[in-house]
Structure 1
Amino acid sequence: MKLNKKAIILVVFLSTLQVCSQEILTKKEALKITLKNNFGIKIANNNIEVASNNKSIYNTGFLPTVSASSGANYRKGDQTNKREGEVAATNEAITKSYNASISLNYTIFDGLGRKYNYQQLKETYNLTELQAKETIENTYLQLFTVYFQIARFSNNTDNLSEALAISKRRMQRAKYQYEYGQSTRLELLNAEVDVNNDSIALINSKQLLSNAKRGLNVVLGTQKDVNYNVETNVSFNKLLVFDELRIKTLSNNTVLKQNEKNIAISEFNVKVNKSNYLPSLGLNTSYGWNKSENPAGAFFGASTSSFSGINAGLSLSWNLFDGGSTKTRVSNAKIALVNQQILLEQQKVNVENNLKNTWENYRNQLFVLKAQETNVLTAENNFKRTEERFKLGQVSSVEFRQAQINFINSKTAFNNVKFDAKLIELKLLQLSGDILNVKF
């Protein structure tokens, strides 16, 4: 008896050690890894950085331009001079000249085009942030779709393992009964077929589980070993109210917010094009130095001259008529603005309709989840009673097998509905703009 106890303790210890060897990837850890390594999120963050560079003051035209230049010339050649009818020639005359300057140019007024362009760039940056947020939201949903798929396959695999264990016990029982002449070989063959079918179902489920884990690694952006488990517990937000979701959706939905930014960008685009109707005023100033060395000629001696000083000026330009191109651009910009406004109204209708459909689907799934939970209890109770009667020889193996299948199918159906309902809940939170605030 002491030996048996020691053996039981050893088996329990080894089983615990095997379970602990598999890492548990929690939902919170999966989110952390995804936000850090996901390829799509990395690209979205880079796009935000580009938009930030574009809206900086260095890209607006508000700063002046400063340039410097310098040069030197050397000339050697024969020179002929004519003065009062006399002609004189100088051979190998050398002329040298030097120059250096620094200049500053600044546009004082350009019809407010710079101002509206800068505001347009800031709205473009805000739009890029919203696009990145949408990418993150979609990645959240993608992550948990795969994560809960792994949880689903894990539970289903456990159910199929349980079914296979039951079938093996039944086959062993049929084998003993056949050996002692208490049943026919047909009962044993039927039991063997059911064991084979359950084994095949279990192998296929394990393959689906492995594939899903590799798919999760793609979302995580890692090459992590697939030998890990996930959390299978699911809790639902019981505080969701449709009217509150609708208000949040119309105010915070990422797609609608992007359309609003597109309208703002289009409004500034109209103003940018209108700025071409106004004149532009520019300032230019420079400081320069020039020096030249001239050779001696027949009528004059060698000379050197230099000049240094400041040069400044204002320039005003006004395109009074450009053939109507500005008028055309303004008209087209106004049409583009109207189209963006129409698109916003269309998106509001689509998003609100999607919210209603998703909400109704969510409520139905919660109802089905309760019904499936009841079915599991009923099927489990029916299976246990059938199993007891089967051991007593009061039901056939066919009836026992059917009760077993009903029990496993009810548990599988419950798992499927549970995870489907949670994903629909996350979709509701995405529509309302709250998915990034989910706590796991």
Structure 2
Amino acid sequence: MSLFSRSLFFSFLLFSISPLAWGQQDQTAKPQTVAPAPSLTLQEAIKIGLENNYGIRLARTDEQIVSNNVTRGNAGQLPGVNGNFTRNFTRNNVRQQLGDQDPRIANGAESNQLNANVALNWTVFDGLGMFIAYDRLKALEQQQQQITRATIEESIANITDAYYNVVRESGKIRSLEEALNIGQQRIDLTQGRVDVGVSAKVEVLTARVDYNADRSLLLQQQELLSAAKINLNNLLGRTTVIDFQPIDSIVVTTGLRAEEIVQGILDKNPRLQQARLGVDVARYERRLVRADRWPQVSLTSGYGLTRNINGAAFFGTQLATNVSRNQGLNYGVVATIPIFNGFNQRRLEQNARVIEEQSRLILDQTRLSLDAETEQALARYQNRLQLLELEEENILLARENVNIALARYRLGLLTPLDLRVAQRSQLDAEVRLLDIRFQAKQAETTLRRLSGYLVQENLPRP
């Protein structure tokens, strides 16, 4: 019998007895992987993050403070009204003497005074400073709103990336489990061939070594998955021990257009809007300083009551109590004209002009920075789309190659080393596909964040 005929005979013999042989073999134990956990979608994660994330909550409290400051009273447009009340009591020993007359003495004379008034002060002209101040407060409110929006966008982008990172790490675990399944088949097939005498025991030992190597990779991957879940829970503002199972897959949008991204940045990017509002605020502050050159005119008015009770009043030689009472309305106009304050006014105006120019430089710098970020994100996005198309084609070839290699190995037409190479090639292709898909989604998320569409798409609607 020829060598080929003998190999073919033993292969058929292996298939005929393999169920019994495998039933008698102790299956190599597989490590426990992902335990069942509650499902979590990306939208649910974003909703939880918007409610709990500490960065967003702090930004919203800052926005609330700035909004509370936008009042006409804070801008100085409304009058100030104050009430005052004073009550004094005295006890004195009084001695009066006129010329050669006998002194008039009053011991323990009691007196008291009551003073009550309501005063109004209203600045009616200050070089239009009060109106400029109100516009400045509104600009500060809008600026803080953009800061909050930027914080929300950054948080949504981070949550999105962290969520899809969990999806990626979970996918790698499934790929390793599939590799372990192939490794187990290899062990069983090799053990069967050893039992019928067509393979050496060293092949079984090699198969088990390769299987344990894949188990080690799986255990390490489980640690990476746990770290990814902890990171996402931290971004969601909840305890890191909460387990969950992501159910959304990584789906990359391939139709983003560069001109729409650029237009979105010009219209909606919160960093750019914040820089523009910074120029407006600096302009208002310069005008506010300039308004100090003008006179300030205020209206004053008040109503007061004064009552004095003097227990040591003498009428001739008689000691008596004197009571006096005054009450009435007062009003007037106060004009303050700035003349000279040690050149401080000029210094303040010069500083205000420098600050305004500085805000324009910040705006130009922000534009340049956004242009660079956009070009980098677009280049990365387009590159990852090309790689994604290549890897999606490559994974099909790798899977088909493993199927063929496994079938040939069953027939004894392939060496264990060649099967291992095919298995590793498929695992590497699976990992590369998951990484490229994640990176493409990251680039897409970055473009949506820069163009301001990320908040628009993910904020809950009333």
Deviation at 1:305?
A: 1.1
CA contact under 8 A between 2:143 and 2:277: conserved in structure 1? Answer: yes
Tell me what 1:304 maps to: 323
CA contact under 8 A between 2:46 and 2:458: conserved in structure 1? Answer: no
The whole-number CA distance in structure 2 between the counterparts of 1:352 and 1:19 is 42
| Residue 188 (structure 1) aligned with residue 190 (structure 2) | no
SS in 1 for 2:95: strand
Letter in structure 2 aligned against 1:290: T
Tell me what 1:13 maps to: none
SS in 1 for 2:314: coil
- TM-score normalised by the chain length of structure 1: 0.92
Deviation at 1:374?
A: 0.8
SS in 2 for 1:57: coil
Tell me what 2:227 maps to: 211
Letter in structure 1 aligned against 2:72: I
Deviation at 1:190?
A: 0.7
SS in 2 for 1:438: helix
Which stretch shows the higher mean deviation, 412-421 or 151-160? 412-421
SS in 2 for 1:83: coil
Select which of 11, 15, 37 maps to 1:22.
Answer: 37
Letter in structure 1 aligned against 2:411: L
Give CA-to-partner distance per residue, 1:3-31, whole Å, 9 cap, x none.
Answer: xxxxxxxxxxxxxxx99953220111111
Tell me what 2:86 maps to: 71
Letter in structure 1 aligned against 2:357: V
Which stretch shows the higher mean deviation, 291-300 or 137-146? 291-300
Select which of 392, 408, 417 maps to 1:373.
Answer: 392
CA contact under 8 A between 2:164 and 2:250: conserved in structure 1? Answer: no
How many residues are treated as equivalent by the alignment?
423
**Can you give the 5+ residue segments of structure 2 that lack an aligned partner in the other structure?**
1-32
Letter in structure 2 aligned against 1:397: P
| Residue 199 (structure 1) aligned with residue 215 (structure 2) | yes
CA contact under 8 A between 2:36 and 2:245: conserved in structure 1? Answer: no
Letter in structure 1 aligned against 2:57: K
CA contact under 8 A between 1:89 and 1:298: conserved in structure 2? Answer: no
CA contact under 8 A between 2:142 and 2:277: conserved in structure 1? Answer: yes
| Residue 403 (structure 1) aligned with residue 422 (structure 2) | yes
Deviation at 1:84?
A: 5.2
Letter in structure 2 aligned against 1:46: T
Letter in structure 2 aligned against 1:63: L
Tell me what 1:9 maps to: none
CA contact under 8 A between 2:127 and 2:292: conserved in structure 1? Answer: yes
Letter in structure 2 aligned against 1:297: F
1:239-254 superposed matches below 5 A: 239-254=255-270
CA contact under 8 A between 2:42 and 2:248: conserved in structure 1? Answer: no
The whole-number CA distance in structure 2 between the counterparts of 1:226 and 1:396 is 46
CA contact under 8 A between 2:448 and 2:454: conserved in structure 1? Answer: yes
| Residue 170 (structure 1) aligned with residue 195 (structure 2) | no
Give CA-to-partner distance per residue, 1:368-387, whole Å, 9 cap, x none.
Answer: 00000111011111111111
The whole-number CA distance in structure 1 between the counterparts of 2:458 and 2:343 is 58
The whole-number CA distance in structure 2 between the counterparts of 1:294 and 1:252 is 74
Deviation at 1:223?
A: 2.2
Tell me what 2:120 maps to: 104
The whole-number CA distance in structure 1 between the counterparts of 2:189 and 2:344 is 92
Tell me what 2:21 maps to: none
Letter in structure 2 aligned against 1:230: P
Select which of 264, 267, 289 maps to 2:305.
Answer: 289
Tell me what 2:9 maps to: none
Tell me what 1:10 maps to: none
SS in 2 for 1:182: coil
The whole-number CA distance in structure 2 between the counterparts of 1:110 and 1:152 is 63
Tell me what 1:80 maps to: 95
Tell me what 1:418 maps to: 437
SS in 2 for 1:181: coil
CA contact under 8 A between 1:160 and 1:198: conserved in structure 2? Answer: yes
Aligned-residue RMSD, C-alpha:
1.9
| Residue 317 (structure 1) aligned with residue 314 (structure 2) | no
Residue 202 to residue 265, structure 1, CA distance change in 2 (3 Å): same
Deviation at 1:111?
A: 2.0
SS in 2 for 1:259: helix
| Residue 387 (structure 1) aligned with residue 406 (structure 2) | yes
The whole-number CA distance in structure 2 between the counterparts of 1:353 and 1:105 is 54
Give CA-to-partner distance per residue, 1:188-217, whole Å, 9 cap, x none.
Answer: 111111111010111111111111111111
SS in 1 for 2:62: helix
Deviation at 1:164?
A: 0.9
Q: Matched residues, percent identical?
A: 27
Tell me what 1:90 maps to: 106
CA contact under 8 A between 1:152 and 1:232: conserved in structure 2? Answer: no
Select which of 57, 62, 80 maps to 1:47.
Answer: 62
Deviation at 1:224?
A: 6.6
Letter in structure 1 aligned against 2:391: Q
Which stretch shows the higher mean deviation, 100-109 or 153-162? 100-109
| Residue 342 (structure 1) aligned with residue 358 (structure 2) | no
SS in 1 for 2:117: strand
Tell me what 2:5 maps to: none
CA contact under 8 A between 2:252 and 2:437: conserved in structure 1? Answer: no
Tell me what 2:153 maps to: 137
SS in 2 for 1:297: strand
Residue 270 to residue 302, structure 1, CA distance change in 2 (3 Å): same
SS in 1 for 2:168: helix
Letter in structure 1 aligned against 2:38: E
**Can you give the 5+ residue segments of structure 1 that lack an aligned partner in the other structure?**
1-17
Letter in structure 2 aligned against 1:194: D
The whole-number CA distance in structure 2 between the counterparts of 1:339 and 1:97 is 58
Deviation at 1:340?
A: 1.3
Letter in structure 1 aligned against 2:296: S
CA contact under 8 A between 1:250 and 1:348: conserved in structure 2? Answer: no
| Residue 351 (structure 1) aligned with residue 366 (structure 2) | no
Tell me what 2:348 maps to: 329
Select which of 237, 242, 246 maps to 1:230.
Answer: 246
CA contact under 8 A between 1:90 and 1:297: conserved in structure 2? Answer: no
